[in-house]
Amino acid sequence: MEPNNKIKITVITIYAASLVAFGFIVDTPYEIAAGLLRILTRPDTLVTDYIGVGGMGAAFVNSGLLTLMFIFILYKLKLNYSGVTIAALFTISGFAFFGKNIVNVWVIVLGVFVYARFQKEKFAKYVYIALFGTALSPLVTEILFSDIWSLSMRIVVSVLIGLAVGFILPPLSTFLLRAHQGFNLYNIGFTAGIIGTMFVSVFKSYGFFPESQMIWSTGNNFTIACYLAVVFISMIVAGFYLDRDSLSKLKNIFEYPGRLIEDFVFLEGIGPTLVNMGLNGIIATTYVIIVRGAINGPTLAGIFTIVGFSAFGKHCRNIIPIFIGVFLGSLTKVWAINDPAILLAALFGTCLAPIAGEFGWIYGVIAGFVHSSVVLNVGILHGGTNLYNNGFSAGLVAAFLVPVINAFRKEEVE
Amino acid sequence: MKHVNKRMCKIVDEFFTYFVDIGANNITANFKDTDDHYRLYLKSNYKTMDKKKLDQLIKYLNYPKSEEIENYYGELAGESDIDTKLTLVGLMPNR
C-alpha cells in the first residue's frame, strides 16, 4: 500500500462515521431501529426516499453503516485509494438514502465474486464493478417483497436473480464503455439500465410488473443543509491542511476534461481533490436550495455522487453547463425546475460533465438540455429497478451526442 | 491479465494518437515479445511540444499499476480519436 493511503482511508472513514453520528443526533436509538426495520422490509424501486420511509436518523445510520462495511471490504482487499475508490464509496453513501441498504446489496456483490472465481481471478479486480453494480438491488427486493409466490420461493428466485445480475455485470460494463467512449461517468448506470430492461421485459412476459413508486420527503432542508455545510467546509479545510499548494493544483484540476479515466487523487493529490469535492458539494446543495427543491434521500444521493465523482472527473467548470442545460429546459418544457425527476436530472446529469470538459460549455448545456428529456422517458423500460436511471439515460445521450459533436468538430479542425 | 496482445495494441494506439496530436509525421514502433516481458520502443518527431504536454505525458505514464482499474476501464484505451487516455497506458504495465 502507498504510504499516504492511511490518510485517505482515515479521511473517508471519518466522513462515513459522521453519517452514523448525525443519525444518532437527530433521532433516538429506538426510532432508528424501528426506521431501519421499515427500510429493510420493503421494495426499493425508484423513487424510495429512505428519509420518508424510516426517518432521518435511520436513513443516515443506514448510509453510514453500509459505507463503513464497504470501507472494511476495501481495506481487507488492501487496495490503494484512488479517485474511483472515493467515487464508488460516496455513490454508496448517497444511494443508501434511496434504494441501497445494509441487506439488499450483498447478493449482487456475491454474484460479482462468483464471476471472479469463475474467471480464476482475484475479486479485487472486480470490486469497483461490484460496488457500483449494487444499483440493481431493487431488482432483488422487488421480487422478495412481492406477493406472487411463497416466501421460500421468493427468496430462492430473488437470490438467483441477484447472483445472475452480479455475474453478468463485469463483462457487460466493460464492453458498454465503448458505446459512450467514457463520456458518461456513470457507466454502470448505463449497464444496469440495459440489464434491468432485459430482466423486466422477461418479468412482464410472465405477468409480473415491477411497480415504480414516489416516496419523496420534504421539510428537512435546514437540518440536512447544516450537516452538509459542516462536511463540505471541513473537506476544503482538510484539503488545504493536507496540501498547502491545493489552490494551484485546484487550477490544474479545472483544466482536465474529466472523461474516464481522470483520477484527480493520483494526478493532483488528495488535498486539492478534497477541496474540489467540498466546492462541488456546496455548488450542488446551493443549486437545490436556489430552485426551492427538497433536500431529502434522493437529492442527497445526487449531491454525494457529485462529491464522490469530484475525485474522478467532475469540477465546477464541467458540471455547471449541465445545470444550465437542465435549467434552460425547464423554461421551455412542460415541467418545473424543482419537480423531483428534474431535480434529480440536474444533479445526476452531471455525469455528462466530460462533454462540457472536452468539447466546451455550449455542448455541455446541450447535453443537459437533452438529458433532462431523455431521463423522463427511460425509467419505464426497467420499471424503476435501476437506481442509476440517470446513468442509463446519460449513456444513451452520450452515445448519441458524441459522434454528432465529433463530426462537427472534425470539420472545424480541417 | 487477459487479452494481453490486444492490450499491447491499444497501448501502441494511444501513443500514436499522442504523437500525432503533437504534430508527428514520422513515427517508428518496435515491439518485442520475450520470455518474461514485452518491450516496446517508440520514436517520433514532433512539431509543437510544449512543456505542459510533456509534463502531462510523464504524469500519466507514472500512474501506479492498478489491476482493478485496468480490468474495468482498460477497454477505453485506443477507443477514441478525440484525445488520449495515457493514464490507462500508465496503469497497465507491471513495474
With an 8 Å Cβ cutoff, are A181 and B82 in contact?
yes
ipTM of this predicted complex?
0.82
Lookup: cell for A191: 449497464
- Asked whether residue B62 carries a pLDDT value surpassing 50, the answer given is yes
Residue A119: list chain B partners with CB under 8 A.
2
Minimum distance, in Å, between the CA of residue A333 and any CA atom of chain B = 32
- Asked whether residue A375 carries a pLDDT value surpassing 60, the answer given is yes
- Domains of chain A: which residue ranges? 1-315
Tell me the pLDDT tens digit for each residue of A105-118. 999 999 999 999 99
With an 8 Å Cβ cutoff, are B72 and A263 in contact?
no
Q: What average pLDDT does this structure show over A326-344?
A: 89
> Can you tell me the distance from the alpha carbon of B64 to that of A161, in angstroms, rounded to the nearest whole number?
36
With an 8 Å Cβ cutoff, are B73 and A182 in contact?
yes
How many domains are contained in chain B?
1
- Asked whether residue A21 carries a pLDDT value surpassing 90, the answer given is yes
Q: What average pLDDT does this structure show over A127-133?
A: 95
- Asked whether residue B1 carries a pLDDT value surpassing 60, the answer given is no
With an 8 Å Cβ cutoff, are A82 and B59 in contact?
no
Q: What average pLDDT does this structure show over A309-329?
A: 95
Residue B63: list chain A partners with CB under 8 A.
263, 266
Maximum separation of any 2 CA atoms in chain B, in Å: 38
3-state secondary structure of A360: coil
CA-wise closest residue to A134 among A162, A157, A172: A162
With an 8 Å Cβ cutoff, are A129 and B72 in contact?
yes
Q: What is the DSSP letter of B64?
A: P
Q: What percent of chain A has pLDDT over 90?
A: 85
Is the model more confident about B50 or about B75? Answer: B75
Cis bond upstream, residue A261 (ω within 30):
yes
Q: How confident is the model at residue A149 (pLDDT cuts 50, 70, 90)?
A: confident
What value does the mean pLDDT of chain A take? Answer: 93
Q: How confident is the model at residue B67 (pLDDT cuts 50, 70, 90)?
A: confident
Residue A170: list chain B partners with CB under 8 A.
71-72
> Can you tell me the distance from the alpha carbon of B90 to that of A410, in angstroms, rounded to the nearest whole number?
28
pLDDT of residue B79: 67
- Of A25-29, A72-76, A410-414, the one with minimum mean pLDDT is A410-414
With an 8 Å Cβ cutoff, are A267 and B83 in contact?
no
What value does the mean pLDDT of chain B take? Answer: 81
pLDDT of residue B82: 63
Tell me the pLDDT tens digit for each residue of A170-214. 999 999 998 999 999 999 999 999 999 999 999 899 888 887 889
Minimum distance, in Å, between the CA of residue B53 and any CA atom of chain A = 12
Q: What are the residues whose beta carbons fall under 8 Å from the beta carbon of A312, sequence distance 6 or more?
A: A83, A84, A86, A87, A185, A261, A262, A263, A264
- Of A253-262, A297-306, B45-54, B57-66, the one with minimum mean pLDDT is B45-54
- Asked whether residue A414 carries a pLDDT value surpassing 50, the answer given is no
Q: What are the residues whose beta carbons fall under 8 Å from the beta carbon of A383, sequence distance 6 or more?
A: A45, A142, A196, A200, A203, A209, A210, A211, A212
- Of A30-44, A46-60, A138-152, the one with minimum mean pLDDT is A138-152
> Can you tell me the distance from the alpha carbon of A75 to that of A124, in angstroms, rounded to the nearest whole number?
11
A221: left (phi over 0), alpha (psi -120 to 50) or beta: alpha
Minimum distance, in Å, between the CA of residue B34 and any CA atom of chain A = 24
pLDDT of residue B81: 63
Residue B75: list chain A partners with CB under 8 A.
174-175, 177-178
Q: What average pLDDT does this structure show over A289-300?
A: 96
With an 8 Å Cβ cutoff, are A82 and B69 in contact?
yes
Residue B83: list chain A partners with CB under 8 A.
257, 259, 358
pLDDT of residue B95: 62
Domain membership of residue B50 as a residue range = 4-91
- Asked whether residue A412 carries a pLDDT value surpassing 60, the answer given is no
Minimum distance, in Å, between the CA of residue B70 and any CA atom of chain A = 8
CA angle B74, B77, B78 (to 5 degrees): 150
Q: What is the DSSP letter of A79?
A: P
Considering only CB atoms, A406 lies closest to which of B63, B75, B82, namely B82
